[in-house]
Amino acid sequence: LREVLARPEVPARSAQKLRQLVPFALEESLAADVESLHFAVGRPAADRRVPVAAVDRARVAEWLAALRG
């Protein structure tokens, strides 16, 4: 897994609840363990779908290392 973009339907509205629920809303559709992923969660739309980017934590570490130079 490198990067995944999705729009799962999540019943929560608060940012804290969204961060808790999003990994489990996507768990079955991801080819990696949710514990190994970083999730960026956007604002929910009126239909309760939430824009999400899931990225392997190792990949994020590579990006940060490249930016640090």
Count Cβ neighbours within 10 Å for each residue of 45-58 and write b for 16 or more, e otherwise: eeeeebebebbbee
Check residue 7 and give its pLDDT. Answer: 96
pTM check: above 0.85: no
Check residue 63 and give its pLDDT. Answer: 94
6-58 per-position pLDDT tens digit? 999 998 878 899 999 999 999 888 988 999 999 999 999 999 899 999 999 99
Q: Are 1 and 34 in contact (CB under 8 A)?
A: no
Check residue 40 and give its pLDDT. Answer: 95
Check residue 1 and give its pLDDT. Answer: 67
Name residue, tokens 């940012």: 15
Check residue 2 and give its pLDDT. Answer: 78
